[in-house]
């Protein structure tokens, strides 16, 4: 995050210039991923003349791009040679198991960025300018892309979520994973508890991605698919637990209360619902990442938001849940909110 203002320091317009040009950073990171720069650097080709495959990039372009990435803290430069920082090696080298390079295709994709060209108008209307209901339009194909590319960002959250949902419970159980997407959360529950059966709910083309991941994890024989809309399909049940990950932020409060009532009705008495959300503090401006997530919801949905813990607790309560608790996941911008039927 950029520096704030320090009352003691002299006033300069640096922060204003910086914001005005911030779009360059997104473009530079995406271009570096497309040009496979982070792989070239990992292979030790750190001198400008050596590392772009000669036909695929110009000396001027690569040099200016690499310098720009150094200025922005994602590369190091020594004696005209570039190399990875620990952060870029971990999260941008495509050979790294924690690589996030695929993210350039979801939050970084043109359809998700286009609304920012019309943000003043979106501020006026208070809702996405995308067709229909934006990303929450039925069968929106962005969710296949989300399922295919966001797994690396969500994978670190799966372990903590599974542990909190199971709480040592290792007997037979049935779990519903609403808006399963890549499926990682339900799959993790199935991995942690070999007697758990998981039903993934999402649009049919998205569930194919989830099933593929279940197969890779060796849990597909305990993975069922329930294709359709969370608002329309019959959940079945009763379930011991329902996962509702990265979902409530797309909708307004009454819609969420309605959905949570439907979730509660599908749970056995004492069963639990677990949401994974970006949960800002009550001031709505900290911590930076969950707080700023509301901007994504403004631009891509009619009425979604990054809800505070008190707002989420109120929705759970209105839907009849009790014993509601928030569990921030360490080192991540996510919080798990649990409620009991």
| Sites for a second copy among residues 262-301 (CB under 8 A) | 283-286, 288-289, 291-292, 294-298
Distance CA 244, CA 195 (A): 21
Could you give the CA distance from residue 300 to residue 290 in angstroms, rounded to a whole number?
16
Smallest gap, in angstroms, from Cβ of residue 100 to a second copy? Answer: 5
Binding segment for a second copy (CB under 8 A), chosen from 102-110, 188-196, 211-219, 224-232, is 102-110
CB 118 within 8 A of CB 125: no
Tell me which residues in 148-207 interact with a second copy (CB under 8 A): 153
- We find the least distance from the C-beta atom of residue 116 to a second copy, in angstroms, to be 4
**Residue with smaller CB distance to a second copy, 58 or 325:** 58
Binding pattern for the stretch 295-334 against a second copy, x by CB under 8 A and - elsewhere: xxxx----x-x-------------------------x---
Contacting a second copy within 26-85 (CB under 8 A): 26-31, 34-35, 56-62, 64-65, 67-68, 70-74, 77, 85
CB nearer to a second copy: give 56 or 229. 56
Strand pairing class (173-178; 239-245): parallel
Q: Which residues of 234-258 are buried (b: 16+ CB within 10 A; e: fewer)?
A: ebebebbbbbbbbbbbbbebebbbe
- 17 versus 231: smaller Cβ distance to a second copy: 17
| Tokens found for residue 328 | 């921030």
Integer Rg of the chain from CA: 22
DSSP E strands in the chain: the ranges are 75-78, 81-84, 173-178, 196-202, 223-227, 239-245, 267-278, 322-328, 334-340
Distance CA 203, CA 161 (A): 23
Among 54, 97, 126, 269, binds a second copy (CB under 8 A): 126
Q: Give the residue with the Cβ less far from a second copy, 17 or 229.
A: 17
Does position 90 interact with a second copy (CB under 8 A)? The reply is yes
Contact status: 113 vs a second copy (CB under 8 A): yes
Between 75 and 189, whose beta carbon lies closer to a second copy? 75
Distance CA 320, CA 244 (A): 16
**Which residue from 39, 45, 81, 100 is in contact with a second copy, where contact means CB under 8 A?**
100
Q: Taking CB under 8 A as the rule, does residue 22 contact a second copy? A: yes
Q: Is 17 or 323 the residue whose CB approaches a second copy more closely?
A: 17
Query: Could you tell me where the beta strands, DSSP code E, fall in 179-312?
Result: 196-202, 223-227, 239-245, 267-278
DSSP 172: -
């Amino acid at each position: 995050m950029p520096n704030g203002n320090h009352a003691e320091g002299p006033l300069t317009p640096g922060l204003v210039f910086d914001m005005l040009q911030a779009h360059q950073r997104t473009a530079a990171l995406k271009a570096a991923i497309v040009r496979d720069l982070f792989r070239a650097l990992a292979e030790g080709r750190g001198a400008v003349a050596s590392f772009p495959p000669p036909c695929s990039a110009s000396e001027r372009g690569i040099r200016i791009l690499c310098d720009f990435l150094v200025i922005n803290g994602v590369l190091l430069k020594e004696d005209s040679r570039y190399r990875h920082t620990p952060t870029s090696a971990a999260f941008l080298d495509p050979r790294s198991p924690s690589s996030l390079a695929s993210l350039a295709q979801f939050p970084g994709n043109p359809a998700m960025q286009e609304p920012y060209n019309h943000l003043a108008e979106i501020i006026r209307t208070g809702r996405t300018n995308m067709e229909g209901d934006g990303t929450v339009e039925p069968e929106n194909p962005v969710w296949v892309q989300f399922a295919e590319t966001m797994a690396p960002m969500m994978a670190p959250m799966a372990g903590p979520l599974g542990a909190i949902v199971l709480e040592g419970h290792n007997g037979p159980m049935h779990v519903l994973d609403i808006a399963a997407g890549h499926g990682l959360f339900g799959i993790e529950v199935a991995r942690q508890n070999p007697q758990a059966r998981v039903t993934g709910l999402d649009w049919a083309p998205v569930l194919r991605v989830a099933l593929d991941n279940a197969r890779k994890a060796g849990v597909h024989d305990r993975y069922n698919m329930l294709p359709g809309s969370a608002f329309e399909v019959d959940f079945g049940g009763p379930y011991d637990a329902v996962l509702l990950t990265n979902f409530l932020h797309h909708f307004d409060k009454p819609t969420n209360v309605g959905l949570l009532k439907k979730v509660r009705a599908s749970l056995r008495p004492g069963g639990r619902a677990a949401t994974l959300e970006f949960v800002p503090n009550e001031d709505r401006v900290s911590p930076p990442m969950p707080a700023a997530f509301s901007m994504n919801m403004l631009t891509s949905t009619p009425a979604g938001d990054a809800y505070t813990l008190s707002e989420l607790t109120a929705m759970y309560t209105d839907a009849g849940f009790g014993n509601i608790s928030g569990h921030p996941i360490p080192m991540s911008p996510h919080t798990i909110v649990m409620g009991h039927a």
